[in-house]
Amino acid sequence: MLKLIAGAVIGGLLGFLYQKKIGCKSGTCPITSSRIGSTIYGAIIGLLLSSSF
């Protein structure tokens, strides 16, 4: 269970940092145009990756 939570937290942090550093400047990208969307997307991807190992 701890592995899943850690994966989601790390993924969310990476999603947030991706949007902050690279992000979508024009605002037309559905996932990376907002910090909340990219953080949630990163957390879901982190959760899925951590559950596969």
**Segment 5-51, tens digit of pLDDT:** 999 999 999 999 988 888 777 778 877 778 898 999 999 999 999 99
What does the pLDDT read at residue 34?
83
The answer to whether the CB of 6 falls within 8 A of the CB of 47 is no
Q: Which of 44, 51, 16 is nearest to 32 (CA)?
A: 16
Range of the domain at 21: 1-52
What does the pLDDT read at residue 50?
93
Q: How far is CA 32 from the centre of its chain?
A: 9
Q: What is the pTM of this model?
A: 0.83
Sign of CA dihedral 24, 33, 17, 6: negative
pLDDT of 3 over the 80 cut: yes
The answer to whether the CB of 31 falls within 8 A of the CB of 38 is yes
Count of domains observed in the chain: 1
* 3-state secondary structure at position 24: coil
